[in-house]
Chains A and B, each alone.
Chain A
């Protein structure tokens, strides 16, 4: 055998071993092998899980999962599904680090199927642990009668109930317009809604703890920043009064938010959120976030008071540009949950009277209906409203 032939045979042997190794590696990097779908006896079943161009690839000392999945689920219950939340958990990723994908504003009758799209990118250091890199599980299902199924680890019950209440509020508003003032009024309302959506400032935000590893910058911020008091919008039928509040503001960054509230209703409150609006030096206003009650397990009796605190820093920007300095903060009660599970949200009338419609985002349902109007026209919108 010549040396030349020997090299060829070695090449062939190497190809053979490389192919075997690649087959083994390929099995590990098959996206389907690193995802676990878990619906936990839910009244929905997976019809199909299309992973599209998902891929798992090692990069440096880490493994990157690019998941582009469309999950088709079937409603096996006897009620229409209004919303679903899927939890995305990566074991040992980071303490408490997790994600979720929710689909509100659904109206899926029994037996029908609906898609849920998940676009996810996950980085795991190597060596990756045995078993799936990521688990997608059901956190909650909300039905048309507000009944709920799921472990609710992400508080999806309350979140989806608020979405559904907003949906009913806004559909009712549009149906009233249609009945009392006709299709032209509905059309005007939709055009106004689309205009508001397009006019809202679209910003980026970064949130991190105001203390801890950023101790130096927090100290600098404390020296250069200033304390800015909240102004409050009084919503007439709100169960809570906002008493006082302030935040540490430095340029386009706000930190250490605090708002004191009093329960003026005759019911116990176990959770509330205060929406906060930022006004920048250019005169632009936008909803910056939501300040939830603290701590968890609140029991705010009638006449009692509580404080909502947040030890986090919020940095706003518009792409690479920083935002003009924050010059004003406005707060309003955006939701209240009573101890019996009932939820209060501001009425449409209150949002209009307090000029909040142009500042806060439209509800998920108004977004869906306005897009339906934009793409399919007024008649399609009218027919959609008649389904409810």
Chain B
């Protein structure tokens, strides 16, 4: 194995590899490592399995939901009847899940706050002005470029601008199409 592939990839990288989310270089490096490392191969396999389960959740199979509900109801009744002896309850909470849940809650809260309370951009304001140069014609509001039409000319000498009432235009020979093209911007 090349020295490049000696080091074990992190589990996050393996998870991303399983999801097909790595760039070509990182994917190549991990593939090289997996050829020689059974432990990592197994981890990737588990991630694949987890991913496929998550994907499967998106497509629920056709089922007899009423029948299923009745079956669940029957089992609950059976459990109640059989629970005269107090068997130790299965542990439903694992402390290791706490940081995971906290991170997810923080992400969700952050996303909600960002979306709900993001300050809207102030409306474009300021004096409207038109600019013409060899490179482009543009409409500005205050100091902000609002609309720019770029002249794709081969040479500056091939650009002719023209100014009229509330409009500027630039005529040039388009380098791609070979056509004369005229870009205009207007304020009214």
Are these two chains actual partners, yes or no? yes
Give the B-binding residues of A (Cβ under 8 A). 1-17, 19, 60-62, 70, 88, 90, 93-106, 114-123, 125-127, 154, 197-198, 200, 202, 204-209, 212-214, 273, 287-292, 294, 310, 312, 314, 361-362, 364-365, 367-368, 371
Shortest distance from the beta carbon of B152 to any chain A beta carbon, whole Å: 5
In the complex, what distance in Å separates the CA atom of A4 from the CA atom of B174? 59
Give the A-binding residues of B (Cβ under 8 A). 11-12, 15-16, 19, 21, 47, 50-51, 54, 94, 96-97, 99-100, 103-104, 107, 118-124, 126-134, 137, 139, 141, 144-152, 156-166, 168, 171, 173-174, 176-177, 179-188
Shortest distance from the beta carbon of A208 to any chain B beta carbon, whole Å: 4
Closest to A125 in B: B121
The answer to whether A102 and B146 have CB atoms under 8 Å apart is: no
The answer to whether B130 and A198 have CB atoms under 8 Å apart is: no
Could you list 15 examples of A-B contacts with CB < 8 Å? A3-B99, A13-B100, A70-B177, A97-B187, A106-B179, A117-B152, A119-B152, A121-B145, A123-B144, A202-B159, A204-B132, A205-B163, A206-B129, A294-B165, A368-B180
**Known A126-B121, A205-B168, A367-B171: A93·B146 in contact at CB below 8 Å:** yes
The answer to whether B173 and A61 have CB atoms under 8 Å apart is: no
Instruction: Among A3, A103, A206, point to the contact of B131 (Cβ < 8 A).
Output: A206
The answer to whether A292 and B164 have CB atoms under 8 Å apart is: yes
In the complex, what distance in Å separates the CA atom of A387 from the CA atom of B183? 27
The answer to whether B124 and A273 have CB atoms under 8 Å apart is: no
The answer to whether B126 and A213 have CB atoms under 8 Å apart is: yes
Closest to B95 in A: A3
The answer to whether B180 and A15 have CB atoms under 8 Å apart is: no
Closest to B127 in A: A213
By a CB distance below 8 angstroms, the chain B residues around A125 are 120-124
The answer to whether A208 and B129 have CB atoms under 8 Å apart is: yes
In the complex, what distance in Å separates the CA atom of A204 from the CA atom of B139? 14
The answer to whether B149 and A120 have CB atoms under 8 Å apart is: yes
The answer to whether B128 and A208 have CB atoms under 8 Å apart is: yes
By a CB distance below 8 angstroms, the chain B residues around A208 are 127-130
Closest to A122 in B: B147
In the complex, what distance in Å separates the CA atom of A362 from the CA atom of B166? 23
By a CB distance below 8 angstroms, the chain B residues around A154 are 184, 186
**Known A10-B100, A127-B120: A1·B94 in contact at CB below 8 Å:** yes
By a CB distance below 8 angstroms, the chain B residues around A96 are 166, 186-188
Instruction: Among A15, A61, A62, A101, point to the contact of B119 (Cβ < 8 A).
Output: A61
The answer to whether B120 and A94 have CB atoms under 8 Å apart is: no
Instruction: Among A14, A97, A102, A197, point to the contact of B181 (Cβ < 8 A).
Output: A102
The answer to whether B150 and A121 have CB atoms under 8 Å apart is: yes
**Known A13-B104, A97-B146: A61·B120 in contact at CB below 8 Å:** yes
By a CB distance below 8 angstroms, the chain A residues around B188 are 95-96
The answer to whether A197 and B168 have CB atoms under 8 Å apart is: no
In the complex, what distance in Å separates the CA atom of A320 from the CA atom of B150? 19
By a CB distance below 8 angstroms, the chain B residues around A6 are 96-97, 99-100
The answer to whether B141 and A94 have CB atoms under 8 Å apart is: yes
The answer to whether A290 and B149 have CB atoms under 8 Å apart is: no
Closest to B187 in A: A96
In the complex, what distance in Å separates the CA atom of A335 from the CA atom of B22? 63
Instruction: Among B119, B132, B156, B176, point to the contact of A205 (Cβ < 8 A).
Output: B132
Shortest distance from the beta carbon of B130 to any chain A beta carbon, whole Å: 4
4 nearest A-B residue pairs (beta carbon): A61-B121, A289-B163, A125-B121, A361-B160
By a CB distance below 8 angstroms, the chain A residues around B130 are 206-208
By a CB distance below 8 angstroms, the chain B residues around A365 are 180
**Known A120-B150, A121-B148: A207·B163 in contact at CB below 8 Å:** yes
By a CB distance below 8 angstroms, the chain A residues around B119 are 61
- Which of A97, A120, A371 is most buried by chain B, counting CB atoms within 10 A of its CB? A97
The answer to whether A207 and B173 have CB atoms under 8 Å apart is: no
Instruction: Among A7, A16, A97, A119, point to the contact of B139 (Cβ < 8 A).
Output: A97
In the complex, what distance in Å separates the CA atom of A142 from the CA atom of B124? 36
The answer to whether B157 and A117 have CB atoms under 8 Å apart is: no
In the complex, what distance in Å separates the CA atom of A5 from the CA atom of B145? 50
The answer to whether B124 and A94 have CB atoms under 8 Å apart is: yes
The answer to whether A101 and B149 have CB atoms under 8 Å apart is: yes
Shortest distance from the beta carbon of A76 to any chain B beta carbon, whole Å: 19
**Known A6-B97, A16-B19, A90-B147: A99·B184 in contact at CB below 8 Å:** yes
The answer to whether A8 and B12 have CB atoms under 8 Å apart is: yes
